[in-house]
């Protein structure tokens, strides 16, 4: 399987990265046009150096970034963007084309994400799972210890979303996207910690308290669907418009996504299926 293929069965909890027209952000993003020269020269500080010590690094700390306040915040958001790009970029059979298009994908995504973080509102959060190092490893920059990521965006429900989520149009909800864990650190409960942090951030740290959390998952990937069900997400009757378009044209191959919704309230913070592993 090509690196970072979006349909990789090895991906931990793949939340479909392509976002349909579910609604609009609760507030507009900030600066969208950032220097691509700066982003293009950003080099990912890999967490692979820590893989050999993974057995001694069983726990992680989830760090939430909403507004960029320090240079480290900037680096962490770029690191998170690279983790997402490596897990969700659909590779082709042309290495040269991939080298160009992957970097373009990464830069474009970083610009959009940083724009959301640089606005005055608290409507978008990047959450990273950082290794709790020991000894010399503890001295590494936080960005080098990133092994997992998930994004949360505060949005307002469109008519189609309100129909399946049983809410009024315009109701604020938390869109959870881009959950990924590096291969060396999977099956250690990190996805559960990221999901708990995403739910907590949605309820306590954004501009508005969302009525529910929403995510898209690939229907065929049962481990991810079971993970979300453990967290109280339920499948809705939403029909994937992209999949339906292909079906109507007689095309095959596009993966069908399902929409899952979890009602949010105070008790949602207490629900934590720690006995399960991702």
Residue 36, pLDDT score = 31
Residue 137, pLDDT score = 52
What are the pLDDT digits (tens) for 53-70?
444 345 789 999 999 999
More confident residue, 78 or 94: 78
Q: Give the dihedral of Cα atoms 241, 247, 249, 252; nearest 10 deg.
A: 120
Q: What is the pTM assigned to this prediction?
A: 0.74
Buried (b) or exposed (e) across 201-232, using 16+ Cβ within 10 A? bbbeebebebbbbbbbbbbebeebbebbbbbb
What are the pLDDT digits (tens) for 97-124?
877 888 888 888 888 889 889 888 899 9
List C-alpha distances in Å: 199 to 43, 181, 225, 277.
Answer: 30, 17, 17, 18
CA distance 214 to 119: 23
Domain 23-269 indexed as CATH 1.10.260.40 = no
The contacts of residue 232 (CB under 8 Å, 6+ apart) are: 262, 263, 268, 271
Let me know: does 119 contact 28? Beta carbons within 8 Å.
yes
Let me know: does 31 contact 115? Beta carbons within 8 Å.
yes
- Start-to-end CA distance of the chain, whole Å, equals 21
Distance of alpha carbon 175 from the chain centroid: 9
Q: Which of 161, 155, 158 is nearest to 176 (CA)?
A: 155
């Amino acid at each position: 399987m090509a690196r970072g293929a979006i349909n990789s069965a090895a991906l931990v909890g793949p939340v479909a990265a392509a976002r349909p027209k579910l609604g609009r952000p609760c507030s507009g993003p900030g600066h969208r046009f950032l220097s691509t020269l700066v982003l293009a020269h950003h080099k990912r500080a890999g967490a692979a150096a820590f893989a050999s010590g993974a057995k001694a690094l069983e726990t992680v700390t989830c760090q939430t970034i909403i507004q960029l306040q320090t240079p480290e915040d900037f680096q962490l958001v770029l690191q998170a963007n690279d983790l997402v790009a490596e897990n969700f970029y659909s590779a082709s059979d042309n290495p040269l084309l991939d080298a160009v298009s992957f970097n373009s994908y990464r830069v474009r995504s970083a610009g959009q994400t940083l724009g959301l973080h640089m606005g005055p509102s608290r409507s978008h959060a990047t959450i990273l799972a950082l290794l709790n190092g020991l000894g010399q490893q503890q001295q590494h920059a936080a960005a080098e210890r990133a092994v997992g990521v998930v994004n949360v965006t505060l949005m307002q429900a469109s008519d189609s979303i309100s129909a399946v989520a049983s809410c009024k149009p315009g109701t604020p909800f938390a869109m959870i996207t881009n959950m990924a864990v590096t291969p060396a650190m999977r099956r250690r409960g990190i996805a559960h910690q990221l999901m708990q942090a995403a739910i907590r951030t949605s309820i306590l740290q954004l501009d508005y308290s969302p009525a529910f959390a929403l995510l898209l998952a690939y229907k065929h990937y049962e481990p991810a669907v079971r993970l979300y069900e453990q967290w109280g997400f339920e499948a809705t009757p939403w029909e994937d418009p992209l999949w339906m378009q292909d079906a109507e044209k007689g095309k095959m191959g596009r993966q069908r996504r399902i929409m899952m919704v979890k009602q949010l309230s105070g008790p949602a913070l207490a629900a934590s299926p720690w006995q399960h592993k991702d």
